Homo-oligomer: A and B are copies of this chain.
Amino acid sequence: MPFTKHEIELLNNLLPNEVEASRARAAYGKTASYIPELAKAPQDALGIHMIDVDGTTVSGGDCGLSFTMQSISKVFTLILALMDNGEQAVFEKVGMEPTGDNFNSMLKLELVRPGIPFNPLINAGAIAISSLIHGNNPAEKNARVLSFFQALAGNDTLAYDMDVYRSESDTANLNRSMGYLLKDNGVLEGNVEDVLDVYFHHCSISVTCGDLARMALVLANNGTDPLTGTALIPRRYVQIAKTFMVTCGMYNASGEFAIQVGLPAKSGVSGGILTMVPGRAGIGVVGPALNAKGNSISGVHLLESLSRELDWSLF
């Protein structure tokens, strides 16, 4: 069901003030510093773009800002890995549970046998997923990932931001450490550096809020792009992805986001958030200043306000 006329009016009326109110929260956050290139993002930017199943769009703030997908990409590499390998093969390598730990923690890989990542949306899990993408070499895999993402976004100009890719690859000692631990635990096939190359690449795909909204729209519509009618993802894999977005999508603030917003969502350390009103609309948000848990501080605030005003929670 698309947004109603009343809802569109309400959103258009609310957005200017809500965006400014949420933007003010950026003062209490800061841009990611562990990837040097990300620290250059405008600290108090905030943009949102929504597109419903009829193609009606509502947007506000700094929608033109380009940013890299970072962890948001993990939702779609998970889906591609499921399409490449099926459920059973994927869930031999990653679990289905939230961790309660930081997204880059390695504790449970050492403490909890058999040492597979708890879920595909933490770093360790997404690295494991990267190793499952089909392709004869990293270049082939990267090409397949990009092509899949372009189809989902309905945008064949989506591309890798090679500055961010290099910045990330150069400073990724913690992810590299995780990769070798996964290798030792028997989770990764093949060469660790090759797997990481795929991982760093898909984190570095550059998008706008509009792109995220289109990708989210496909999920909101159970796998079929409602604007073209093209079936892009089997419904069961959309269901799996949306469930993970509720239980693990916002790092270890996922529980709070579920209670305060109640929508499937995935955030990235670039300040992006992809979310959706299931059956109705896709939403892309960007706000580079992050809170202590690694989510866009302004973006989360804006989504809390809108979900409350429009009663969007699934629960």
Contact = CB atoms under 8 A, between A and B. Distances in A.
A213 interface: no
Interface stretch (A40-48, A94-102, A130-138, A202-210): A94-102
A163 B307 CA distance: 46
Contacts of A255: 95-98, 118-119, 243-244, 247-248
Contact of A258 (B106, B174, B246): B246
A111 B242 CA distance: 30
Copies of this chain assembled into the complex: 4
A253 B119 CA distance: 12
B98 A259 contact: no
Contacts of A195: none
A25 B275 CA distance: 38
A239 interface: yes
A294 to B, nearest CB: 13
Interface in A95-127: 95-101, 105-108, 110-111, 118-119
Contacts of A180: 173-174, 176-177, 180
B239 A313 contact: yes
Interface-central residue, A100, A108, A110, A244, by most chain B CB under 10 Å? A100
Contacts of A181: 106, 173-174, 177
Contacts of A178: 177
B98 A97 contact: yes
A224 to B, nearest CB: 16
A97 B247 contact: no
B315 A242 contact: yes
27 contacts: A96-B255, A97-B98, A97-B253, A97-B255, A97-B256, A98-B98, A98-B254, A100-B100, A107-B107, A173-B180, A173-B183, A173-B192, A174-B180, A174-B181, A176-B180, A176-B192, A177-B178, A177-B179, A177-B183, A239-B315, A240-B259, A243-B258, A243-B313, A246-B246, A246-B258, A246-B315, A278-B315
